Amino acid sequence: MGSALSIVGLFALVYGIIEAGQTSWTEPKVLYAFGVAAAVLGAFAMSSGAPPPMLPLGFFKNMSFTGANMALTLVSFAMFGIMFFVSQYFQSVQEYTPFQAGVRLLRWRACRL
């Protein structure tokens, strides 16, 4: 149940952010999406205490586990940020099409596997 709540909540949140960028932050469907995201993610947070949780919070008492997860999260954010800005560079400065920029990023991704 927890994974379904997290999927629906994150989908609603991302949908709201995307729609806000295209229309307005005060658009009713954007506010509705944020409301759904807040309600569903709140229900997800409350369900983490119910047996069995998707991820027992006791794991985070181990500082090695917590530090490793924080480091992995920061590295993932950095990697996706770099990929985003490099794709923008390829399209805006180098004037490649989105497909050509994607093909050039595939080469970078293959090096990391």
Q: What phi and psi, each to the nearest 5 degrees, are found at residue 49?
A: -90, -15
What per-residue confidence (pLDDT) applies to 111? 60
Same domain flag for 74 and 111: yes
pTM for the whole structure = 0.53
HSE value, Cβ hemisphere, 13 Å, CA-based, for 102: 3
The list of the chain residues with pLDDT below 70 reads 48-50, 53, 109-113
Note down the domain range covering 104.
59-113
Q: How many domains does the chain have?
A: 2
Q: How far apart are CA 11 and CA 15, in angstroms?
A: 6
What per-residue confidence (pLDDT) applies to 64? 95
Enter the tokens of residue 93. Answer: 């400065």
What per-residue confidence (pLDDT) applies to 16? 95
Same domain flag for 66 and 44: no
Q: How far is it between the farthest Cα atoms of the chain?
A: 53
Same domain flag for 10 and 33: yes
For residues 44 and 64, is the Cβ–Cβ distance under 8 A?
no
Same domain flag for 43 and 67: no
User: Distances from the Cα of 21 to the Cαs of 27, 50, 77, in angstroms?
Assistant: 11, 36, 21
Same domain flag for 90 and 66: yes
Same domain flag for 51 and 89: no
Same domain flag for 44 and 68: no
Enter the tokens of residue 102. Answer: 């994607």
Same domain flag for 41 and 90: no
Same domain flag for 37 and 75: no
Same domain flag for 45 and 82: no
Same domain flag for 50 and 64: no
